[in-house]
Amino acid sequence: MATLYDLQGAYARVAALVADSESDPEAIKDTLASIKDGIEEKAVGTLTSLSR
Protein backbone atom coordinates (compact mmCIF):
# COMPACT_ATOMS: atom_id res chain seq x y z
CA MET A 1 0.00 0.00 0.00
CA ALA A 2 1.32 3.41 -0.93
CA THR A 3 2.02 5.87 1.83
CA LEU A 4 0.78 9.42 1.69
CA TYR A 5 4.40 10.47 1.07
CA ASP A 6 4.53 8.13 -1.95
CA LEU A 7 1.34 9.66 -3.32
CA GLN A 8 2.72 13.16 -2.76
CA GLY A 9 5.85 12.22 -4.69
CA ALA A 10 3.75 10.83 -7.51
CA TYR A 11 1.81 14.10 -7.76
CA ALA A 12 5.13 15.98 -7.87
CA ARG A 13 6.25 13.76 -10.78
CA VAL A 14 3.02 14.50 -12.64
CA ALA A 15 3.49 18.23 -12.09
CA ALA A 16 7.04 18.00 -13.45
CA LEU A 17 5.89 16.00 -16.46
CA VAL A 18 3.11 18.47 -17.24
CA ALA A 19 5.50 21.42 -16.89
CA ASP A 20 7.92 19.82 -19.38
CA SER A 21 6.58 20.56 -22.86
CA GLU A 22 8.50 17.57 -24.26
CA SER A 23 6.89 15.03 -21.91
CA ASP A 24 5.26 11.97 -23.36
CA PRO A 25 1.48 12.15 -22.80
CA GLU A 26 1.51 8.38 -22.21
CA ALA A 27 3.94 8.84 -19.30
CA ILE A 28 1.59 11.38 -17.73
CA LYS A 29 -1.36 9.04 -18.22
CA ASP A 30 0.53 6.10 -16.66
CA THR A 31 1.62 8.16 -13.66
CA LEU A 32 -1.93 9.40 -13.08
CA ALA A 33 -3.21 5.80 -13.28
CA SER A 34 -0.71 4.69 -10.64
CA ILE A 35 -1.80 7.53 -8.35
CA LYS A 36 -5.45 6.53 -8.76
CA ASP A 37 -4.62 2.95 -7.78
CA GLY A 38 -2.66 4.13 -4.76
CA ILE A 39 -5.46 6.40 -3.58
CA GLU A 40 -8.02 3.61 -3.91
CA GLU A 41 -5.82 1.20 -1.93
CA LYS A 42 -5.20 3.82 0.76
CA ALA A 43 -8.92 4.60 1.08
CA VAL A 44 -9.89 0.93 1.38
CA GLY A 45 -7.16 0.30 3.95
CA THR A 46 -8.17 3.32 6.01
CA LEU A 47 -11.86 2.46 5.96
CA THR A 48 -11.09 -1.15 6.89
CA SER A 49 -9.06 0.04 9.87
CA LEU A 50 -11.78 2.42 11.00
CA SER A 51 -14.53 -0.17 10.74
CA ARG A 52 -12.87 -2.53 13.20
DSSP string, 1-52: ---HHHHHHHHHHHHHHHH-TT--HHHHHHHHHHHHHHHHHHHHHHHHHHT-
pTM for this structure?
0.66
* pLDDT higher than 80, residue 16: yes
CA distance 6 to 18: 19
C-alpha 28/C-alpha 9 separation (Å) is 14
d(Cα 49, Cα 29) in Å, to the nearest integer? 30
Mean pLDDT of the chain: 88
Q: Which one of 1-5, 7-11, 19-23 scores highest in mean pLDDT?
A: 19-23
Q: How much is the pLDDT for 20?
A: 92
Q: Print the domain residue range for 33.
A: 4-50
Please tell me the total count of domains within the chain.
1
Residue 51: the pLDDT is 84
pLDDT average, residue stretch 27-52: 87
